[in-house]
Amino acid sequence: MTQHPTQSPQFFLTAPSPCPYLDGQFERKVFTHLVGDKAPEMNDLLTQGGFRRSQNIAYRPACESCRACISVRILADEFRPTRNMRRVAQRNSDLIGEMHDAQPSTEQYSLFRTYLDARHRKGGMSDMTVLDYAMMVEDTHVDTKVIEYRKRGPDTFVTGRGVGELIAVALTDRMADGLSMVYSYFNPEFEDRSLGTFMILDHIERARAAGLPHVYLGYWVNGSRKMDYKVRFLPQEHLGPKGWDRYEPA
């Protein structure tokens, strides 16, 4: 693994590239490396400042003519599910999420490929190999976990484990003030379960149980329909020029 100095982070700027969310826009990112003993502390500070993590890189948008990407975090203690969210939770009451250390498996990769092929065939991750996937999961210097969701079994309440096929997976960082959902994916054949919503609801409950105030969802892009789901989890805060402010839907 490449070694980098840990005394103070160095930041770099990417070249412009087409925006994956808004047609006609170009994105740039500022990024730094998250390595060494100070990586968990640095990840906390950067995430609170609007950065996201991908492997050992922390990045945030630095677009020249657009400010549409807004960092979002749910206030876990105050959150109250909508009627539809309660239905989603009930629909998935036969699932249990088991938390593991950040270790990839062939079963995870098979589900990951099925998800990409169905949902993001032309996306930037569409050509990821099993090695690429392994790096995404285990190339981390912070407290990263994998949560695997499976159906409950007869001994679930004894072992705390689900049984049967892998249905959904979340790659999650635990920070001092919350859980950060790095990436999640699921079996697209179970579309009626609304598994993306269910995993966020599960993370809210996990944050509450751990005494953590926030669940970080990454960026909401106003004007991108694929991002609209993020602002349904209220109350939440958005990061603006003056810091984190409570979001008031129009």
Beta-bridge partners for 38: none
Using alpha carbons, select from 60, 71, 70 the residue that is nearest to residue 12.
60
Instruction: Spell out the CATH class of 73-246.
Output: alpha beta
pLDDT of residue 62: 94
pTM (2 decimals)? Answer: 0.91
Q: Output 23 or 121, whichever has higher pLDDT.
A: 23
Taking the C-alpha atoms of residue 18 and residue 23, their distance in angstroms, rounded to an integer, is 8
Q: pLDDT band for position 250 (50/70/90)?
A: confident
User: What does DSSP say about strands 214-221 and 178-186: parallel, antiparallel, or unpaired?
Assistant: parallel
Is residue 158 scored above 70 in pLDDT?
A: no
Give Cβ neighbours of residue 128 (< 8 Å, ≥ 6 apart).
112, 116, 136
Report the mean per-residue pLDDT for the chain: 91
131-143 pLDDT, tens digit each: 999 999 999 999 9
Task: Find the angle CA(161)-CA(74)-CA(72) to the nearest 5 degrees.
Answer: 120
Average pLDDT, stretch 106-110?
Answer: 96
User: What does DSSP say about strands 26-27 and 52-54: parallel, antiparallel, or unpaired?
Assistant: unpaired
175-193 pLDDT, tens digit each: 999 999 999 999 999 999 9
User: Which part of the chain has CATH 3.40.630.30?
Assistant: 73-246
pLDDT of residue 213: 98
Per residue, the 3-state secondary structure of 63-125, as one string, reads CCCCCCEEEEEEECCCCCCCHHHHHHHHHCCCEEEEEEECCCCHHHHHHHHHHHHHHCCCCCC
Taking the C-alpha atoms of residue 159 and residue 154, their distance in angstroms, rounded to an integer, is 10
pLDDT of residue 124: 65
Give Cβ neighbours of residue 146 (< 8 Å, ≥ 6 apart).
99, 100, 101, 102, 103, 104, 108, 137, 169, 170, 171, 172
Residue 22, number of CB atoms within 10 A of its CB: 17
